[in-house]
Amino acid sequence: MKDPIRNITAFQLDVLKEISNIGAGNAATSLSKLLNKAVDMEVSRVLPMHFNEITEYVGGAEHIVATVFLRIQGDISGNMFFVISTEAARELVKDLIGQAEEEFTEMSYSVLQEIGNILSGSYLTALSDFTGLDLQPSVPSLAIDMAGALLGEGLMELGRSGDYAILIDAKIGLRETLELTVVQNGGGHFFLLPDPESFEKLFTALGVQNHGSS
Amino acid sequence: MEVVKVWMADSNVAKFPNSIRTTGLGSCVGVTLYDPVTKVAGMAHVMLPSSTLAKNDEFKSAKYADTALPELLQMVLKEGASKARLVAKMAGGAQMFNFAGGSDTMKIGPRNVEACKEALKKLGIRLIAEDTGGNSGRTVELFTETGVYLIKTASRETREI
């Protein structure tokens, strides 16, 4: 099999960026309603990356993050992560239940799990509406642990084809805390990692075929 | 002393006085081979159980348990280790996320552990210690002076095996 990731065009990358913007925009609206606060998003980034770079991108393999993970199946398949720093996770819990918790209790796990469900659900609904593709997300699961260990889980399927992934990164956060850098600084990231076989189907659904590839 | 780094789906060797380390093991397994006399150590960060899963002919041997271990053995032998003295330790193979009725993909950790054991058995190398399973990420480091394998997790105390 030819590595679909190596043959992707600049135009196709722009298309991926746009669908990610639509998904994240929808998720930002949901978060804003949930918190009754102004929520912003940044223009998504599409980053073809070596596996090792992905964990560096989120602050290093040992960096502790809160992550909601789900597997997408249906017309296309892939993995999706919603990743936030533990500080941002505490803030979110505080905003929602009105009390600060030092440790992550069962209650805060449950709150974060629910936020993850709502946000990833609204992201994927927008994606599905826009592309007309049937996307069936698994029930999302939350874990707080080392970024390398958590994201590694989503690289298994991709690892069968190669060592590179296309990371589609969208960032949302509260207006006052959203900064331009990665996970450490309060924002939440949606990482979409489509399985390599899915790119063609995705581009076909969007009417953007591989004509311009070099 | 230097710390030799091992990336995901990669392998490397270290000689005394250096140590060898890999970070953020989830369902991946950090397998080490160690010769206590020449103090040569090798480590592979195994990602998947079997090279039959590969969809592409070109892949790094260290990615799959069945290809990683034979290659790691050759690497440590080349650095002066004796096969008869080699002992193996391993850590990792966790399940990071809990899915109700999870698919096989989600049970990759235990499958990785089993595949590594199988590969060691085939090579005739003794597995003398392991810290596998559970649902925590691990950072691991093998010290060539003592052969001690240090395991750190986010939640519990560090442990040595």
161 residues of chain B, pLDDT tens digit each: 899 999 999 999 999 999 999 999 999 999 999 999 999 999 999 999 999 888 888 888 999 999 999 999 999 999 999 999 999 999 999 999 887 555 555 689 999 999 999 999 999 999 999 999 999 999 999 999 999 999 999 887 899 99
pLDDT at A214: 40
The C-alpha of A80 sits at a distance from chain B's nearest C-alpha, in angstroms, of 13
Is B116 known to be catalytic? no
Helical spans, DSSP H, in chain B: 65-78, 108-123
Strand bridging mode A141-146 / A64-74: antiparallel
Question: Measured between beta carbons, which residues in chain B are less than 8 angstroms from residue A112?
Answer: none
**pLDDT tens-digit profile of A98-149?**
877 778 888 888 989 998 898 899 999 998 998 899 999 888 899 999 999 9
| Residue A116: Cβ within 10 Å count | 25
Of residues B114 and A17, which shows the higher confidence score? Answer: B114
CB B100 to CB A139 under 8 A? yes
Interface subset of B 55-114, CB within 8 angstroms of A: 55-56, 59-60, 63, 94, 96-100, 103, 105-106, 108
Residue A27 main-chain phi, psi, to 5 deg: -65, -40
Please, what sign has the CA dihedral across residues A56, A59, A63, A69? Answer: negative
Task: Check pLDDT > 80 for residue A211.
Answer: no
Task: Check pLDDT > 70 for residue A179.
Answer: no
Q: Which of B55, B103, B154 sits opposite A145 (nearest CB)?
A: B154
pLDDT at A163: 85
3-state DSSP assignment of residue A64: strand
pLDDT at A1: 46
Q: What is the mean pLDDT of chain A?
A: 83
The C-alpha of B134 sits at a distance from chain A's nearest C-alpha, in angstroms, of 12
**pLDDT tens-digit profile of A36-92?**
888 888 888 888 888 888 888 888 889 899 999 999 999 999 999 999 888 888 888
pLDDT at B151: 97
Question: Measured between beta carbons, which residues in chain A are less than 8 angstroms from residue B136?
Answer: 145, 149
Prediction pTM value: 0.89
Interface test with A, best of B12, B96, B98, B106 (most A CBs within 10 A): B96
Residues A149 and B137: beta-carbon distance below 8 Å? yes
Task: Check pLDDT > 70 for residue A180.
Answer: no
Q: Which domains does chain A have, with CATH numbers?
A: 4-206 (3.40.1550.10)
Task: Check pLDDT > 80 for residue A174.
Answer: no
Task: Check pLDDT > 60 for residue A35.
Answer: yes
Q: Which domains does chain B have, with CATH numbers?
A: 3-160 (3.30.1330.200)
Residues A67 and A141: beta-carbon distance below 8 Å? no
Which residue among B25, B28, B62, B125 is the active-site one? B28
Of residues A5 and B6, which shows the higher confidence score? Answer: B6
Collect all residues from A whose CB is shorter than 8 A from any CB in B: 1, 3, 51-52, 55, 60-62, 64, 69, 71, 138-139, 141-150, 152-153, 155-157, 159-163
CB A71 to CB B105 under 8 A? yes
Indicate the length of chain A as a whole number: 214
**pLDDT tens-digit profile of B113-132?**
999 999 999 999 999 999 99
**Residue of chain B whose Cα is closest to the Cα of A79:** B105
Residue A166 main-chain phi, psi, to 5 deg: -100, 110
**Residue of chain A whose Cα is closest to the Cα of B26:** A149
Residues A13 and A46: beta-carbon distance below 8 Å? yes
